[in-house]
Amino acid sequence: MYKAVISDLDGTLLCRGHHVTKFTKDVIKEIINKGINFYIASGRSYDQIGYITEQLDVKIPIIVANGARIFDTEGKMIYEKGLLKETAEAILDLDYENIAKDSHLNIFSGNDWIITKGTAQKVYDRIPRDVKVVFKEVPKDELKNLDILKIFYIGEHEQLIKLEEAILKVTDAVNVIFVNDYCMEIMAKGANKGAAAKFLLEREGLELKDAVAFGDGENDFEMLTMVGKGYAMGNSIERLRKLLPKDFEFVGANTEDGEAVKLQELFLERAKNI
């Protein structure tokens, strides 16, 4: 029997409208009541996840910024691995707007979501109205003064591929991943959900083999393959599918409560049959 669940949010736990369905809430509450640890591992910042834990009505440890930070049940940061200053500067020196036409630069610094001054409308154009949006606009020439957890770009996939190639030419101290086809993220080497999950589980007296995990993006690859059992969502992006072994197990799409259905099968139906 597994003792913990680690879940991605967008495209995994969350359904349409970036919300948790009643069925998913009920399943999660029931497995927690049975003593199974439940953790969230997201690319979002900590402040962007509060409304999800409110919906679930739980206080749980949370992995944020794709593994760059971990917060405990009380909201205290217990782990951090951000970009080196020189690495961030090398990336910010790139003329990204010329390399990846119409792309949009974003930064996580501490708990802040940073965008370049004058680009707020680009955020509003792509974020659903029911999702809380809190960001700070900073002049481009002041970005290098920030302590940066991760840099991410929004744009057309083929354009972002060009930017990925340019970034990897100026530094090898990063992990470049696609959360979805239109969002490319740059993390410090070694900062990923799998490494963060290992830290968190060991802190709570568990091992990676004790956990199952669910995800849909390339940023979930390490987590899915390092735990005892990983499950990819039916709506997983192509870059993740290409990385996973051919026999890797997929569950239903996030719009079909794919994770909750599998959790029910793993932890609840089995218990009824014992």
* Amino acid 128: pLDDT: 64
**pLDDT single digits (tens) 30-49:** 999 999 999 999 999 898 89
Q: Which residues contact 253 (CB under 8 A, 6 or more apart)?
A: 233, 234, 235
**Measured distance CA(105)–CA(99) in Å, rounded:** 12
**Measured distance CA(213)–CA(125) in Å, rounded:** 31
CB atoms within 10 A of CB 92: 17
**pLDDT single digits (tens) 135-181:** 899 999 999 999 999 999 999 999 999 999 999 999 999 999 999 89
Look up residue 31 and give its two tokens: 């497995």
Give, to the nearest 10 degrees, the angle between helix 157-170 and helix 85-92: 130
Decide: 108 and 45 in contact? Cβ < 8 Å: yes
Q: Is the pLDDT of residue 272 over 90?
A: no
Residues labelled catalytic: 8
**pLDDT single digits (tens) 218-227:** 999 999 999 9
* Amino acid 1: pLDDT: 84
Q: Which of 115, 42, 46, 113 is nearest to 75 (CA)?
A: 46
Mean pLDDT, the chain, whole residue set: 93
* Amino acid 132: pLDDT: 65
Cα dihedral 193→197→200→201 (10° resolution):
170
Backbone angles phi, psi at 49, to 5 degrees: -110, -15
